[in-house]
Structure 1
Amino acid sequence: MLEEFFQRYFIDPIRYNTGYNVVNTLTYAIILGVATLFVYRVLNRLGIKYDNAFFRALIPYMVFGAFTRALTDAGVYPRTYLTVSPGIYFLVFVITFSALLVTHRLFEDWRRVFLWFGWGLVAVDLAALLARGDVDFNWAVLKYFLPALAVAELAVYALSKKLSLVRENSYLFYVHFYDATTTFVGVDFMNYWEQHVLPRFLMALTGTAAVMYPLKFTVLYVALWLMRELEREGEDKELLDFVRMVIFILGFAPGTRNLLRMLMGV
């Protein structure tokens, strides 16, 4: 019974690429929450502070994860449980966390070494793409993406003038509207489909992936409002900033993977 349950809700969706369901979505959300707290506590014990320099050093690893996932869709890398979602998140986490621990232990200027190791991983992905040589880029995607992105980001800018919570966390709204734009363009103009449960339901209900914008805004606004209230009540500000970084990753990585996938025509 348990084996059948696991097969139905966790293995088959990956094997047959049928998208997420309620069960695995909630499970992965819980795992993400636990992993976030675990990593934060480990970093604290090691004396690694989350700051702007640390955040910048993580960016190439975000690009690496998105690029690797897109290359899997393009057939450059084999499709396995570790090269598609959610396994790709585990793979990138293990690589990133291992690189962080090793560089922190061995190098005095570890942030610089950690940063350039991350860009080295991106370079490996780029080399794999160039070596393949048979990926046809679909630059026509940009004629839909760029205007839609401009409108979306202008909307965030306008909202930041009216709402203090948006203004204080504008980078999160910008990146999640970027992610929403890749979904909107992919589904409405490029014949892609949405894998996540709630967005898929809302798209079927409204007939357009533009519903991602109000959905993203609502979820993000509520989450950030709750975090602000917790901060006012004395909760650990550094932990909440670390959670904001995770929220950024959840917008930037999928959005970049979507854009790269569309550009590669897969």
Structure 2
Amino acid sequence: MELPEGLDPARAWLAAFVGGIVLTVVGAIAFPRQVYDGFLWRYFWGPVDADAHGATCAVRSGGMTERLYTRSACAAAEGVTATPGYTTTSTVSYALILVFMLVGVLLLLRKLDVQMSHRFYVALFPYMLFGGALRVVEDVNATFVRENVGMLIPFPSVALIISPFIYFTMFGFTLAALVGTIYLARRDVLEAFEPALATVGAAALAVTVGALLYVSATSSIVGFYPAVAIIVLVGATLVASAFWWGSQRYAPYINEGTGRMGTLVVWGHSVDGIANVLSLDWNEELGLPVAYGSKHVINDAVVRITGSVQPEWLSEAIGTAWPFMLIKIGAAIAVVWVFDRQIFEESPRYAYLLLIAILAVGLGPGTRDMLRATLGI
């Protein structure tokens, strides 16, 4: 569908964005029970509220919110009930919002005439690590709540770093850094915006990891198990190095489009896969005080299927999460293969944005899983 002649796509996107917010606010005010309680709170804010307070569920009734901490209490509660996590409605809604926001980013990059390059791709790499680390701050916060020692970050401020709102927080932070560094570069304050953009992300990452290590050193609730991070990072680096060497030697066409950027994709998804294996199957051997479980549908299915078809003695020896790691690595290599030179030549902005999103999907959760296990929370 083409826009009417003379209509600026960026202005049309902005009008749709503002119109959507206005429509939602008006609907919530005019029909609070149906729009706010029954939809916005139930599927979006309620799950975050319950998650932030370490509750089994949150219940909305008569304009008031109550947090409950047992399944039986949640089952007997009267009112609109929300539990931590995603539902089909919220997942579909977030997917649509993500696509809409990616279109907005694409239009903004076009408006700013940002030249997509390997340097731009690498400059955004620290932000993916930062997003995962920031999510662990909320995990520490939730651990403090469970131990009845208060909150590091009070509610509702902590909601900004709880999934899915953390994605909007990271989007806003990254966008501000991008626009700010481009502005300075075009005023000749900076020679190029990419190094400054990377520096901002690296600084945010360093501050966040530093804060986590400080809490670990000063609190008996949060531990420190560096072997986890060492195994994950070294393992992912070995996998990515082996991929680059093997592909360059025997199948260079795989990296024809992405070049060394493809190695980063494989590295990021290897971090996610290895961190999952260590957390699910090797937590006792690593001395971790927490038993982790699969939260994502694919991961959970892989673990269940492997456990049902693999001999019990083998499951006891190597665990049941290892196929997930192979799937992650294989999928990453397949994606790199798909991104051939033609894709980058025909639509470079779209190709780079999509590749960045693919890396973030693996590296963000992987960083979180790795740091959680490293801190034993």
Asked if 1:175 corresponds to 2:268, the answer is: yes
Moved more, 130-139 or 253-262: 130-139
Q: By how many angstroms is 1:91 displaced?
A: 0.4
Q: Please identify the structure whose Cα radius of gyration is greater.
A: 2
Counterpart in the other structure of 1:63? 129
Task: Summarize the alignment of residues 122-201 of structure 1 with structure 2, pairs less than 5 Å apart.
Answer: 122-129=205-212, 132=215, 133-134=218-219, 135-141=222-228, 145=232, 149=236, 152-153=239-240, 156=243, 160=247, 166-168=254-256, 169-190=262-283, 191-201=291-301
Q: CA RMSD in A?
A: 3.3
Q: By how many angstroms is 1:115 displaced?
A: 3.0
Q: By how many angstroms is 1:137 displaced?
A: 0.7
Counterpart in the other structure of 1:216? 328
Q: Aligned equivalents of 1:172 and 1:165: distance in 2?
A: 16
Contact 1:139 1:263 in 2 (8 A): yes
Q: Deviations over 1:18-54 (max 9, x none)?
A: 4434443333333323322321221121122221222
Q: Aligned equivalents of 1:77 and 1:64: distance in 2?
A: 18
Structure with greater proportional helix content: 1
- TM-score for both structures, normalised by structure 2: 0.59
Counterpart in the other structure of 2:365? 254
Contact 1:165 1:221 in 2 (8 A): no
Identical-residue share of aligned pairs (%) = 28
Q: 1:105 is matched with which residue: 174, 183, 193?
A: 183
Moved more, 191-200 or 17-26: 17-26
Q: 2:355 is matched with which residue: 237, 244, 254?
A: 244
Q: Aligned equivalents of 1:148 and 1:131: distance in 2?
A: 26
Q: Deviations over 1:113-162 (max 9, x none)?
A: 33333333234324533554224212343576467547754774586365
Q: By how many angstroms is 1:9 displaced?
A: 4.1
- Consecutive unaligned residues of structure 2, counting only runs of 5 or more, are 1-33, 52-83, 142-151, 257-261, 284-290, 308-319
Q: By how many angstroms is 1:184 displaced?
A: 1.6
Counterpart in the other structure of 2:78? none
Per chain length, whose mean CA-contact separation is higher, i.e. which structure has more relative contact order (CA < 8 Å, sep 6+)?
Answer: 1
Distance 1:188 1:248, change over 3 A: same
- TM-score for both structures, normalised by structure 1: 0.80
Moved more, 165-174 or 147-156: 147-156
Q: Aligned equivalents of 1:137 and 1:61: distance in 2?
A: 23
Distance 1:164 1:20, change over 3 A: farther
Distance 1:225 1:28, change over 3 A: farther
